[in-house]
Structure 1
Amino acid sequence: MPRGPTLEFWFEFASTYSYLAAMRIEALAEAAGVTLRWRPFLLGPVFAAQGWTSSPFNLYPAKGRHMWRDLAREAARLGLPPVVRPESFPQNSLAATRVAVHGAEEPWIGTYVRAVYDAEFARGQSIAEPAAVSNLLNGLDLDGPALIRASTQEPVKSRLRSIGEEAKSRGLFGAPTFLTEDGELFWGNDRLEQALAWAMGERSAGMR
């Protein structure tokens, strides 16, 4: 059978709007007949290249206050649990991201990604410590300690660095970002449906 269209989903675990996209993208892609490619990456180096030392939601307080209110509204609209803001924002997502890089092609990747986001933004828990990530993996009937060990090996670290360079070379500036096979870039949770439509060949979807 011919392979269906593919959509790349670039996400950062510290990103609030990546959370909204991650909680629904797998089901939407499956319904559309689009193959989803999970692309975890770190926004820190991307922001640093733009001269930012932190999230723009921290650098611009008014924007940050609006974001948290908007996030709460959108979570309610999408039927997600009420948002619980983590004590630290943005969180250090390195440990969680390394596991996602290691398992990006594994059948559990979607379940894992949603579990991390649920812990972070629906329960307000820390995802920064490897032990916290390991516990999440254990809760998915995966071997948390083994996956943490594997994700800290040099091949995964090197792969994550390469992904960061790829993100910058392909023009990514934030998350979530969706990239189609023809190189069209869609940015933001509210562009997910357009990205899927474009991936399926509906070129007018991004031109309205």
Structure 2
Amino acid sequence: MTKPKLEFWFEFASTYSYLSAMRLPAAASNAGVEVHWRPFLLGPIFAVQGWDTSPFNIYAAKGRYMWRDLARRADRLGLTVEKPDPFPQNGILAARVAQIALERPEGIDFCQTIYRAQFSKGLNISDPSVVAACADAVGLPDGVIEAAQSDTNKLALRQTTDEATRRGLFGAPSFLVGDELFWGDDRLEDALDWAVRHAQ
């Protein structure tokens, strides 16, 4: 029997992606599901909908609820939350580095370190020095920031974001099992269960 597979599509500026990124490795291991981590950008997807910022900023009541909900859910997971300023953060550089990092054993640790820096420590992940510190903390090789800024790697992130659009993604975190889409941290368990029950 083929091992169940799931794609985890995440945006570093996404609050609920933070929760999923921190709990997915253990949850997937317990379920016996192989996960492909896919960093992408929500900005171009939001722009098509006429948004120039997070919907949590556009709709104030929704934003207030989200931050409270995030704090409750994080507390249950033993995580802390500090709202970064500004919000949302520009995660382009972090996503570019993640594309390279995820080809290495340190990749998931790097992604989790970026999320902690942003949503637990309130740091600005658009600052190259913050991203570099996260890369250093998990042992990524020297030169990874420069490699992430190559034309080839920049194009790869644009292509991944285009793929997200073609496949119907509209938010993060999103989980894909084949063409079956699950959206939101609260659908992580449903996605894992679907992957197990529909493994080819």
Question: With structure 1 as the length reference, what TM-score do the two structures score?
Answer: 0.92
Is the Cα–Cα contact under 8 Å of residues 5 and 34 in structure 2 kept in the other structure? yes
Matches within 5 A, 1:1-208: 3-80=2-79, 82-143=80-141, 145-181=142-178, 183-201=179-197
Give the Cα separation in 2 of the matches to 1:89 and 1:119.
14
Give 3-state SS (helix, strand or coil) of 2:168's partner.
Answer: coil
Deviation at 1:31, TM superposition (A): 1.3
The residue identity in structure 2 corresponding to 1:192 is L
* 2:6–2:33 contact (8 Å) kept in structure 1: yes
Runs (5+) with no aligned partner, structure 1: 204-208
Q: Which amino acid aligns with 1:112?
A: F
Q: Distance in 2 between matches of 1:198 and 1:51?
A: 33
Distance across 1 between alignment mates of 2:198 and 2:190: 9
TM-fit CA distance, 1:111: 0.5
Aligned length in residues: 199
> Structure 2 CA distance, aligned partners of 1:6 and 1:107?
18
CA distance in 2, matches of 1:170, 1:142: 31
* Letter aligned with residue 90 of structure 2: N
One-letter identity of the residue aligned with 1:129: D
Question: Which has the higher mean CA deviation after the structures are superposed, 187-196 or 154-163?
Answer: 154-163
Q: Please give the per-residue CA displacement for 1:22-71, whole angstroms capped at 9, x wherever unaligned.
A: 00001111111111100000000010011111100000111111111111
Question: Could you tell me the TM-score, scaled by structure 2's length?
Answer: 0.96
**Distance in structure 2 (CA, Å) of the matches to 1:65 and 1:147:** 37
Same amino acid, percent of matched pairs? 53
Q: Which amino acid aligns with 1:99?
A: V
Which consecutive residues of structure 2, in runs of 5 or more, have no partner in the other structure? none
Once the two structures are TM-superposed, the CA of residue 202 in structure 1 deviates from its matched residue by 6.0
RMSD between aligned alpha carbons?
1.3
| 1-structure distance, mates of 2:84, 2:35 | 28
